[in-house]
């Protein structure tokens, strides 16, 4: 492999001049810069990433912290990760993916080793233990989520409270008055995961303002968990004519169990799902849904990190408005 000395000899300059052209830390004449760049192209020289980082104090790497806990939906998490990677490449950055649930230890290890320029964090909790550590780091951080106290840290996400209101208003427009929420697993609520809490708050507030009879129920996303959830809904809100499902993994067993119980969608019960578009349209019946815009949220997180690195102004909290798409799972109640 060619070295910086090979480039210097080919361009007729010193190795330090090649280094300055690469780092931009000293002014170099246009003619000299062109000779060096031509030599780099001719030899196929690729500077070592560590050397670039030392020279420029930048690594061109972002950390994405996405703990893969037992109760997270990995395919949805990977949609966010893909969005972050794609957006980062447009800014000439790579992504270091951290999936181990290790609290602040992993953050401090990565930040103190100067491996990354900025951090993007997912699975944010109400009283997230990582926040004090993030405020101490020299690298900027962006949360995909909204904790109770986001002071000093940028946050981006879907407006989950508004998403709940959008779903209920749509069902109320169809004439439904008794509506149940099939929520995430109990563990998600116990951890204080903010997207689930914000959605539940929005659901409760919209229900009150619309004068609806509603029930919110957590749901384990396997067949037995969904069966127990539906049994409880039948017992506690008999005659419910619609479901809001904020639990992507429960959708398929939910549809299977409703069919086994002789309940047709949407003739006997309507459904609004809160999920990525591809999940909604690939169900046995294309579902009316409020999209979880992983592409937009991931891209916004990266753009916010880039603005922070460039010293540009940002909105400290950006919540994207929800979009509901009508498909085939909603109709007026019988």
Domains and CATH numbers, the chain: 4-55 (1.10.260.40), 61-158+294-321 (3.40.50.2300), 160-292 (3.40.50.2300)
Q: Hey, which bits of the chain come out as E strands? A: 61-65, 94-98, 118-121, 141-144, 154-158, 178-183, 213-218, 242-245, 270-275, 288-291, 317-320, 324-325
Q: What pLDDT score was predicted for residue 52?
A: 52
Q: Tens-digit pLDDT profile for the chain (334 aa)?
A: 788 889 899 999 998 888 888 766 677 888 898 898 888 888 888 765 555 554 456 788 999 999 888 778 889 999 999 999 999 999 989 999 998 887 788 788 887 777 899 999 999 999 999 999 999 888 999 999 999 999 989 999 999 999 999 999 999 999 999 999 999 999 999 999 999 999 999 999 999 999 999 999 999 999 999 999 999 999 999 999 999 999 999 999 999 999 999 999 999 999 999 999 999 999 999 999 999 999 999 999 999 999 999 888 899 999 999 999 999 999 999 8
d(CA 76, CA 289): 15
- Listed in sequence order, the residues at least 6 apart from 148 whose beta carbon sits closer than 8 Å to its beta carbon are 126, 127
Q: What pLDDT score was predicted for residue 51?
A: 52
Q: What pLDDT score was predicted for residue 300?
A: 98
pTM: 0.82
Whole-Å CA distances, 99 to 69, 107, 187, 201: 9, 11, 18, 29
Nearest to residue 302, comparing CAs of 103, 45, 90, 29?
A: 90
Phi, psi of 250 (to 5 degrees): -85, -10
Beta bridge partners of 120: 64, 142
Spatial contact of 281 and 120, defined as CB atoms under 8 Å apart: no
Q: What pLDDT score was predicted for residue 54?
A: 46
């Amino acid at each position: 492999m060619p070295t910086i000395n090979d480039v210097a000899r080919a361009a007729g300059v010193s190795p330090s001049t090649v280094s300055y052209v690469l780092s931009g830390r000293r002014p170099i004449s246009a003619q000299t810069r062109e000779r060096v760049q031509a030599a780099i192209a001719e030899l196929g020289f690729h500077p070592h990433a560590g050397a670039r980082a030392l020279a420029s104090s930048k690594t061109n790497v972002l950390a994405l912290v996405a703990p893969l806990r037992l109760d997270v939906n990995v395919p949805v998490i990977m949609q966010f990760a893909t969005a972050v990677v794609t957006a980062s490449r447009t800014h000439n950055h790579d992504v270091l993916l951290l999936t181990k649930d290790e609290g602040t230890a992993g953050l401090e290890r990565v930040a103190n080793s100067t491996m990354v320029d900025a951090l993007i964090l997912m699975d944010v909790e109400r009283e997230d233990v990582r926040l004090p550590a993030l405020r101490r780091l020299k690298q900027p951080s962006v949360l995909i989520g909204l904790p109770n106290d986001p002071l000093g840290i940028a946050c981006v996400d879907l407006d989950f409270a508004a998403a709940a209101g959008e779903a209920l208003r749509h069902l109320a427009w169809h004439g439904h008055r008794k509506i149940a929420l099939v929520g995430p697993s109990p563990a998600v609520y116990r951890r204080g995961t903010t997207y689930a809490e914000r959605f539940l708050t929005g659901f409760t507030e919209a229900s009150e303002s619309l004068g609806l009879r509603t029930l919110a129920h957590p749901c384990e996303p396997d067949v037995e968990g969904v069966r127990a959830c539906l049994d409880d809904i039948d017992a506690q809100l008999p005659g419910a004519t619609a479901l809001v499902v904020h639990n992507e993994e429960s959708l398929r067993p939910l549809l299977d169990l409703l069919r086994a119980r002789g309940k047709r969608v949407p003739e006997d019960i309507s459904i609004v799902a809160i999920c990525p578009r591809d999940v909604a349209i690939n169900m046995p019946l294309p579902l009316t849904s409020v999209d979880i815009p992983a592409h937009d949220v991931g891209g916004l997180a990266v753009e916010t990190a880039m603005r922070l690195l460039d010293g540009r102004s940002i909105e400290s909290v950006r919540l994207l408005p929800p979009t509901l798409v009508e498909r085939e799972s909603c109709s007026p109640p019988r």
